[in-house]
Structure 1
């Protein structure tokens, strides 16, 4: 089997495990609210708008939120519940709501990401989209965990950078396929940068090209021998940068880490 085929099998097994674990995390709006866990990351699907039905089906068929939240709950022990709500957002955008302790995962964002990959003539747009969903959920979980840990407040840009580094930690933590996830997310940021070369000065996130490079730097720093194509003079610092980011997040997470 090729490396790609082996990773595809691994992902299939991960999805199956995630769906089983996800049964403990998901509830429908049909009278089962009393069984909702009182802590940890949990998931709820809301009825989509007519235009978003395909995106909801995509998430459920692949068990993407379920497997991602199962991985998060296996790593950290949240002191309270954070709800991931998959829903139609009418353009509001996927985000973490601190007041509600809720992550909105927007069906309409998925449609936009798929369209970008299709426009770029990606041979596997659905696979690419699945990777972006994983990276996005880990990023938003990073915001939720900073909140749970009551870490010192930073400016908006620093907060977003820290959430990106948490996604890197989770995806590189013992999962070789996470390298592919980050590289695919980096490609998505490249596409966003190409589509809109002038970053919005009001956006609290780093410019898409900067976020893409951060992910590539983390992958290179984590496993330079597996990605020689990423070895450039501009990335000689990446091993030290990745190590510092990993250690900082691991130190901060110590009170919540499962033993």
Structure 2
């Protein structure tokens, strides 16, 4: 599309009303420039020591961020809640991560790590990855509804696998491990559920079986399913990949 300014005869430009000149200049200067929706993060004041610790974990993990191109602005709010949950509100375009869910995940992961006699560094990496899974799962709900697609936990997990591998490849292996360790625990939102964990790990592994071979080696995806994971990932990427790409730097 050509700029309208190129069609203006300079010999007659003085006849053009000033408001119209301003409109043409504005149109020309923004031609081809699309809005750049952003993700904003707010931390509400915690109301207890546990909530304060949860807020600190979220901040230090840097899990609540994304470079994925968003169809509309999204707000992420970390706050105290009546329940241990994470939610997506389509009307408000808001992801809410409750301090109570983060605290429950922290205490559960601590118990698992103590049983395995894992060191502090291992626990910290697992927690960062677990929080990333929680966020990307809710981001998956957001991408589903904002793109006019049917929304479900399964769909959110598909998007989460795509966005996590694109956004935070360094946390992919940890995400599969963390979800596997917590899969049998109830009340942990997207971190609960053995079958869901197997499918999520399969998609992560299938995105690059060579790079993420530790997922298969760790047994976090069923051995009999591992050979088909690349095809499963390719199917998801073919269906949803265009809606889960990183924004230009």
TM exceeding 0.5: yes
Give the alignment's Cα RMSD to 1 decimal.
3.1
5+ residue gaps, structure 2: 1-34
Partners of 1:161 and 1:205 within 8 A in 2: no
What is the aligned counterpart of 2:229 among 225, 231, 238? 238
Match of 1:145 in 2: 143
Q: Does 2:248 correspond to 1:249?
A: no
CA-to-aligned-CA distance 1:31-82 (integer Å, 9 cap, x gap): xxxxxx99421111101111311111222234332xxx2xx3x330433x21
Residue in 2 that maps onto 1:173: 166
Give unpaired runs (5+ residues) of structure 1. 1-36
- Equivalences for residues 99-138 of structure 1 within 5 A: 99-120=91-112, 121=114, 122-123=118-119, 124-138=122-136
Does 2:56 correspond to 1:57?
yes
Residue aligning to 2:10: none
Q: Distance in 1 between matches of 2:85 and 2:183?
A: 19
Deviation at 1:244, TM superposition (A): 0.7
**How big is the shift at 1:257?**
5.7
Aligned residues: 202
Equivalent in the alignment of 2:29: none
TM-score (norm 1): 0.67
**Greater gyration radius:** 2
Distance across 2 between alignment mates of 1:134 and 1:206: 11
The answer to which structure has the higher helix fraction is: 1
